[in-house]
Amino acid sequence: MLKKLRMDGFQLIRFSRIVFTTILMLLLSSYSHSHGGGLSSYGCHTQASNGSYHCHSGNYSGLAFASQEAFLSHVQSQTGVIIAQVKTPLGDFSIELFEKITPVTVSNFLSYVNSGRYGGVLFHRSVNSFVLQGGGYIFNQSGYTLDSVRTDEPIQNEFNVSNTRGTISMAKLGGNPNSATSQWFINLADNSANLDEQNGGFTVFGKVIGDGMDVVDRIAALQTYTVAGLSDFPLNNYTGGTLVSDNFIEMTITQTDSASTYSRDDYLPYWMDEDEDCINTRHEALIIESRIPVTMSESGCSVLSGEWLDQATNQIFTEPLDLDIDHTVSLAEAHVSGASHWPIERKRAFANDLLNSEVLKVMDDSSNASKSDKDPSEWLPPNENYHCNYVKNWVEVKTLYGLTFDKDEKNAIEKILNTSVEYGARKGVVGIQASTGKEMARFAMGITEGNNCGYSSAGSLYQNTLIDFSISPDKAHLGQAVDILVVAVLGDDIYSISDTAELVPFTGDASSLMPFIRSTVFRENFTFRLVESVFSEPINVSIYIAYRLDSGDLIYSSAPFVVDIK
């Protein structure tokens, strides 16, 4: 459903004071809290008052999380997870590396791993209830000496994540934030109050997972000595005299295969029936995309007929057997783009994603067979008029799931978008439920100028500009009738934009927030136009998007979208 609006027709009514209710305070909460320290280089920090985690710049600008751990889970869930396996004489443990959050640091660490320079590397420093450090030395059995690991050039500091227990950070020289090379340490306790605040913050680039800290704690419990001038050196079964190899905690570190063998059955052994209503994902997709009410089988489980527009060919079909349900980004393509390390549950959720309409599309079976697992550098739909929307759907899916682009794929997409690949998707933020403060749903905005295919960061004067939004509701709200709200913040004044394009001042009563779209039912993610117009005067306004349940509860964008026309 699409709504059009002309912003240049607004009559902006000013008034002196607004009495904020709890709901509106929540709407503005991401700009009214007290900070609990400086921002990380990722633009995030922990709020001192309640331990929540907020991001104010960078890729996750505007997002709020219940904790730093929730932030990490959110980021890691959207990208392929890289695991390093660490073998020691006292047991093995695994490290999850934060490639998405600290790409330079993870690349540096893996360079040492994959070049073999961490083969036999030692834990050489253990400070009780503080850190266990390694990565700097190897025991030379022939010369009974400690040899330094050959290091590369120091790397840029990427402090983003707090130094809590179980996290792994880069060691560096005092007074020089950008001096880390090969040495790293595991935090044995919550060291955030200390290590987050000094020397630019110590870069956390991973965490010990599973029960790995049991192994780390066993190593940290060893007695320490001074060895070759290094104090706090942990040794195993040492009773004095000449040191031997078995006295050292030597590590063998390996990276798990980031391109494990693709198996379709990992993703789609069969179409799921998530809501257990006997209608599987294929038939649910046919029901959603049919342009007329479908005819169901006697059992009510299968679609027998309907009317479908295959955008890839611009042909209309009425027989379901003529159609495949195409994964816009094929399962094999997703696998090599970062999904290989997803758990099985996430792989299957991706393969059966009915919430995000860009993921699954009806397509005639011959075109789908021709496409196979090809990316846009290798295949584009026969319908040339669909190329723009096809590559934008492709980018939306990859952005949503944190999948990567190869060089040829990126170049092909950017040629169609006529802009960089990052502008192939709307910019999104998580939603917040007003009554509970829980994260749910997702809201996104796109600004499109003139005949451009890709989105823009701002609109231009005297040029046709389209501003649209998408809402991916919480799954629990599918099938419910909701009101869509658009709230404009102009200085100290707050207005809701009504379905008749009027700016209605907020009076302090939540019921005064007028709906922009009344009583619509979510079947999947929902896209609507706010305005399409040629602007003759500059505009800068902050917009919150929300939907209101029958109960009156609001689910709203956790940060405003800035509409800038200049």
Q: Say if residue 535's pLDDT is above 70.
A: yes
Contact 308, 282 (CB under 8 A): no
Kindly report the CA angle at 494 between 440 and 550, in degrees rounded to 5?
A: 45
Per-residue confidence (pLDDT) for residue 502, from 0 to 100: 86
How far apart are alpha carbons 401 and 417 in whole angstroms?
20
DSSP string covering 63-116: -EESSHHHHHHHHHHTSPPEEEEEEETTEEEEEEE-TTT-HHHHHHHHHHHHTT
How confident is the model at residue 404, as a pLDDT?
Answer: 80
Name residue 433's beta-bridge partners: 555
CA angle 171, 173, 179 (to 5 degrees): 80
pLDDT at 67: 56
Strand partners, 486: 545
Among 220, 228, 132, 255, CA closest to 184: 132
DSSP assignment of 186-241, as one string? EESS--HHHHTTSTT---EEEEEETTHHHHHHHHHTS-EEEETTEEEEE-SS--SS
Given a contact cutoff of 8 angstroms between Cβ atoms, the answer to whether 336 and 404 are in contact is no
Q: Answer for the pair 453, 388: CB distance below 8 angstroms, yes or no.
A: yes
Q: Which of helix, strand or coil describes residue 363?
A: strand
pLDDT digits (tens, 9 = 90+) for 29-65: 333 333 334 444 445 656 554 455 555 444 455 555 5
pLDDT at 103 over 50: yes
Q: Which CATH number fits domain 7-39+428-565: 3.30.565, 2.70.50, 1.10.3430, 2.60.40?
A: 2.70.50
Model confidence at 1: pLDDT above 60: no
DSSP one-letter code for 34:
P
- Element at 137 (helix H, strand E): strand 131-140
pLDDT (tens digit per residue) in 476-509:
999 999 999 999 988 788 899 998 888 888 887 7
Query: Cα–Cα distance between 364 and 432 in angstroms, integer?
Result: 39
Per-residue pLDDT, 298:
95
Dist CA 208 CA 213 (whole Å): 6
The sign of the torsion formed by the CA atoms of 114, 119, 125, 126 equals positive
Average pLDDT over residues 327-338: 91
Structure token pair of residue 301 = 């489980």
Among 219, 121, 217, which Cα is nearest to 171's? 121
Question: Do the Cβ atoms of 280 and 271 come closer than 8 Å?
Answer: yes
Instruction: Give the number of C-alpha atoms closer than 13 A to the C-alpha of residue 206, restricted to the C-beta side.
Output: 28
Q: Are 254 and 265 in contact (CB under 8 A)?
A: no
Radius of gyration over alpha carbons of the chain, in Å?
A: 27
- 108-155 per-position pLDDT tens digit: 999 999 888 998 999 999 999 999 999 999 998 877 889 999 999 999
> Measured between alpha carbons, how far is 434 from 193 in angstroms, rounded to an integer?
31
Strand, helix or coil at 185? strand
Q: 């809701």: which residue's tokens?
A: 496
Structure tokens at 18: 């607004």
What pLDDT is stored for residue 63 in this prediction? 53
Q: CB of 426 within 8 A of CB of 395?
A: no
Q: Indicate the residue type of 555.
A: I
Average pLDDT of every residue of the chain:
85
Q: Is it the case that residue 200 has pLDDT exceeding 70?
A: yes
What would the two tokens of residue 170 be?
A: 């880069």
Confidence of residue 4 (pLDDT cuts 50, 70, 90): very low
User: What percent of the chain shows pLDDT beyond 70?
Assistant: 85
Q: Is the pLDDT of residue 71 over 90?
A: no
Q: Say whether pLDDT at 457 is over 50.
A: yes
- Assess whether pLDDT exceeds 70 at residue 316: yes
Provide the CA 56 distance to its chain's centre, in angstroms. Answer: 15
**pLDDT tier at 255, thresholds 50, 70, 90:** confident
Residue type present at position 421: V
pLDDT in tens, 431-443: 999 999 888 999 9
Whether residue 474 has pLDDT greater than 60: yes
Residue 208: strand pairing partners? 95
Does the pTM surpass 0.75? The reply is: no
CB 448, CB 469: distance < 8 Å = no
Give dist(CA 98, CA 158) in Å, integer.
11
The more confident residue out of 10 and 148 is 148
Q: Which amino acid is at 205?
A: F
Specify which residues 529 forms β-bridges with. Answer: 468
Q: Which CATH architecture has domain 82-255?
A: Beta Barrel (2.40)
CA 71 to chain centre: 9
Determine contact, residues 3/499, Cβ cutoff 8 Å.
Answer: yes
The domain limits of the chain are 7-39+428-565, 82-255, 270-401
Q: What is the pLDDT of residue 70?
A: 55
Amino acid, res. 350:
F
Does position 338 have pLDDT exceeding 90, yes or no? no
Q: Cα(200)–Cα(321) distance, rounded to whole angstroms?
A: 61
Q: What is the pLDDT of residue 11?
A: 31
